A = this chain, B = another copy of it.
Amino acid sequence: MKYAIILGNLGNTNDRFLSSGYKDQPSKEEMIKRAAAIEGVEGVELVGTWDITSENVEQVGGLLSKYNLKCASIIPDHFAQKRWGSGAFSSKDPAIRAQAVEETAKMAEAARALGCDLLSLWPGQDGYDYPLQADYRQERQWIEEGVRGLARSYPQTRFALEYKAKEPRTHSTLARVADTLLTVQETGRANVGVTIDTGHAYVAGEVVGESIVLAKRAGNKLIHMHFNDKNASWDDATIVGAVHSIAYIETLYWLDRTGYTGWLSMDQYPYREDGAAAIGESILWLNRFDEIMQPQRAEIDRLIALDDAIETSRFLRKAMLGA
């Protein structure tokens, strides 16, 4: 259990009704300090533009060293500037597409400088809002080409594509685990895979354990994991355990069984809560789910081979609730 946190989780939060934010924005050092103080956190994910640029790599590296944190990954900015508003990798404007690739390349360099070999790419603005607006074929092709080129140029860097069914577009191009795996395969590069965000998987109607297996079957393509929870069909990004319980036990089981060794990175959006406390809670829930699951690994293997819902119910009740 190697925990990380997306640094911005500790900063200000806002939405379209309150764009100035529900909180105040702490300094970068303050956020890194808070991250380091969360029990269990060993790494941080840095978001391009927000947390890291080509210009401040050294400064950020210094702060990470000071607080004894690793750079778990960089998430290049493909969503937080006006220029990406109608798409980054799949913009209909070739200049923007080139900038999306260039920005990613810069972050690959920055990551290398920070001793990190992982970029988690979330092309959040690549998608569409209206019917007959998108050339589904061309746009996916552009994403694939952009990523393939980067993966070729940076063979020591792993590129994990993060899917999400919607938001900020009404439909994202990389929407679900399996369409993302198809695109990963089309790149034909060993250093391209996927990031599974538990909340994004729930929004897509996926069972996370099954999504993990799909990535495994597609050539061991699970590179990175984001954790949070959600209600119904929106990316609420709440504390882990707020809604789902058994789902996390099953997720941890399949991560274990498929040999996942990457980060468990917290990706929440604590609009109104203290960020560090909210992240800390998630880690404690995950720890507890893991403590429940680990001693029962063999028993779960047996149950899964048995296919008896009553037996499974009995098991979960006792394992989870103690009776």
Contacts and interface: CB of A to CB of B under 8 A. Distances in A.
Contacts of A310: 239, 273-274, 277-278, 281
Interface stretch (A18-26, A31-39, A55-63, A110-118): A18-26
A272 B132 contact: no
A28 to B, nearest CB: 17
Interface in A127-142: 129-137, 140-141
Contacts of A217: 137, 140-141, 182, 186
A271 interface: yes
Given A210-B136, A217-B186, A303-B132, A234 B166 contact: yes
Given A92-B305, A232-B205, A285-B317, A80 B18 contact: yes
Interface of A: 13-22, 79-82, 85-86, 92, 124, 129-137, 140-141, 165-168, 170-171, 175-179, 181-182, 185-186, 204-205, 207, 209-210, 213-214, 216-218, 230-234, 236, 238-239, 241-243, 245-247, 249-250, 253-254, 258, 269, 271-274, 277-278, 281, 284-285, 288-289, 291-292, 300, 303-305, 307, 309-310, 312-317, 320-323
